[in-house]
Amino acid sequence: MKTRPAEARRATAATALIAGLALTGCSAINYQATTNDYSASDGVIFETENLFEAGNVAFNQIMFVASAEGEAARMIGQVSNDGSGDAEVEISVEGETLELQLESGEAVSLEHDEELIVSSIGAPPGSMQELSVSVTAQTAEGTESTEASESAPVLDGTLSEYRDLVPGGFDESTTDHLEHGPDTYGGGAAHHGPDDEGH
């Protein structure tokens, strides 16, 4: 018996629907990393609204750039006052303090507007440096103060976007070990010529 055209169209649509469900099944039931908010840079994010009681001061992409442990380090990132009142902020690192006065809605760049150069960073690049923050904010309940300890990463000039921020200038020899050798040059797996020594 021949299938009528309408029945054929319904059978084709049902097949397409089943195939579509099969293709989207993974994304429908599995965790999707792209739906999660995360810090897109190399620094850390923390804010008083989540950690403390006083106002809503946010510390965004906080990190340090230094050539080595014990050397001068530049703190970079942004501090913003998202609360309804003014805020006084203190950031202390290795006994050195940066004080900020932020009006409601004001944001300060630690690279362009204000600067904290720590004379001797206590952690080497690739690790975390401890810092403390103190916030005094005007809230609906009055003046509130709080403080807490955090940690932020220390980077050097290996990544080119941070080289201009290294206090005292970037030492090019820092990345000498990253240059391509005969076994690592080019894309893909390591390769070498058949006449190379040691192969």
Total domains, the chain: 1
pLDDT digits (tens, 9 = 90+) for 97-146: 999 999 999 999 998 999 999 999 999 999 999 999 999 988 878 888 88
**Residue 113, domain member (yes or no):** yes
At residue 144, the pLDDT reads 87
**Residue 189, domain member (yes or no):** no
**Residue 30, domain member (yes or no):** no
Strand 142-155 and strand 57-66: the pairing is parallel
Q: What is the pTM of this model?
A: 0.66
**Residue 143, domain member (yes or no):** yes
**Residue 178, domain member (yes or no):** no
pLDDT digits (tens, 9 = 90+) for 18-72: 555 455 555 455 544 334 443 446 777 766 655 445 568 999 999 999 999 999 9
CATH number of the domain where residue 110 is located: 2.60.40.2550
**Residue 105, domain member (yes or no):** yes
At residue 193, the pLDDT reads 52
**Nearest Cα residue to 65 out of 160, 133, 180, 138:** 160
What's the domain range around 90?
Answer: 44-169
The whole-angstrom separation of Cα 148 and Cα 52 is: 8
Q: Report which of residues 79 and 169 the model is more confident about.
A: 79
Kindly report the backbone phi and psi dihedral angles of residue 121, in degrees, each rounded to the nearest multiple of 5, phi listed first: -75, 140
**Residue 78, domain member (yes or no):** yes
**Residue 23, domain member (yes or no):** no
